[in-house]
Amino acid sequence: MPVATKNNQTKQEPWIYLVWECKTTHPSMRPLGKRTSEGCGHWNLRKTKKRIDSDKAQSACASCGRRKRLNRSNIYLRVYLTEEMAQEAQKRLNGGE
């Protein structure tokens, strides 16, 4: 999202990298009357410029396809500023080297 500066120029928001786990955080929630599915436990990586908690960011699990809203009240997020650090953390959390 562009941000106005004092010289009337727009400055782009930096990319942030989110690592999140596919798991059920609120088992009582049943969207549209559907059964709540359990998460698979896979750690996923999402690249975004959206602000956490104020924008409605969603992401799908790369392993099972389950969609999850990404906000701090719903799930524990790990935030990284570089893609390399996020990829390394994701690999480590998924049981890689």
Residue ranges for the chain with pLDDT beneath 70? 1-10, 27-36, 97
- Residue 96: its pLDDT value, please? 82
- Residue 19: its pLDDT value, please? 93
- Residue boundaries of the structural domains of the chain: 2-26+38-93
Q: How far is CA 69 from the centre of its chain?
A: 8
- Residue 29: its pLDDT value, please? 62
Give the residue among 49, 56, 54 at the shortest CA–CA distance from 79: 49
- Residue 24: its pLDDT value, please? 79
- Residue 12: its pLDDT value, please? 77
CA distance 96 to 42: 12
Which residues, at least 6 apart from 39, have a Cβ–Cβ distance to it below 8 Å?
21, 22, 23, 24, 61, 64, 66, 68
In this prediction the pTM is 0.73
- Residue 7: its pLDDT value, please? 61
DSSP H helices in the chain: 83-93
